[in-house]
Amino acid sequence: CGLVKNLSLMCYVSVGTPGYPLVNFMQLHDMELLEEYDPVVSPNVTKVFLNGVWVGVHRVPGVLAEVLRGIRRNNAWSFEITVVRDVRAKEIKVFTDAGRVCRPLFVIDNNPLSGNKGNLVLKREHLDKLTDDKTIDVSHMSEEEQDKTLYGWKGLVASGVVEYIDAEEEEQAMIVMTP
């Protein structure tokens, strides 16, 4: 069963994040609210949905999708936000609701200006931090102190090396199975 397989691969079930601040954020990044949209003036725009509700339209959907993924990877917003750009349907779907089964994937650098384009974002410095974790004595620390002190898996997620995607985003993602 696919659900059992996903659950066995370090999955995360989303607990939900408030979505309304994202509407304001997307407005600041040139999204027109649905109430302000005139289909006669701009018939070739992309619809923007938040948790299944049509909230607005955008003229440059690729930029908006990359900005939203960027804030997720830079840990400026919750890592459990899902951003799906469906080019054929001319839709961007953003999900922040609870109950989505997400799985972790390593991130590939797609920045055309980067010298690391096409390679993992994971670097030697990340591996060194994980190795350093082994030398830290955590026997006297509470779980909260351990989370603050150790880099670990949460550090990889916060650094944008690993991101969680749900089934909806996985359908649109290009996933490499081998290095």
Please answer whether residues 119 and 108 qualify as being in contact, where contact means their C-beta atoms are separated by less than 8 angstroms. Answer: yes
pLDDT (tens digit, 9 = 90+) per residue, 132-178?
A: 999 999 889 999 998 889 999 999 999 999 999 999 999 998 888 87
Q: What's the token pair of residue 148?
A: 């603050």
Domain 2-103+162-172: assigned CATH number: 3.90.1070.20
Give φ, ψ of 99 to 5 degrees.
95, 5
Q: Is residue 98 within 8 Å of 14, Cβ to Cβ?
A: yes
State the amino acid at position 73 in one-letter form.
R
Q: Residue 153: what pLDDT?
A: 92
Q: What is the pLDDT of residue 108?
A: 92
What pLDDT, in 10s, does the model give residues 107-124? 999 888 888 888 899 999
Tokens of 28: 């600041």
pLDDT for position 112: 85
Distance CA 78, CA 42 (A): 32
CA distance 70 to 79: 10
pLDDT in tens, 50-71: 999 999 999 999 999 999 999 9
Tens digits of residue pLDDT in 66-104: 999 999 999 899 999 999 999 999 999 999 999 999 999
**What rounded mean pLDDT belongs to the chain?**
91
For 6-16, write each residue's pLDDT tens digit: 566 688 999 99
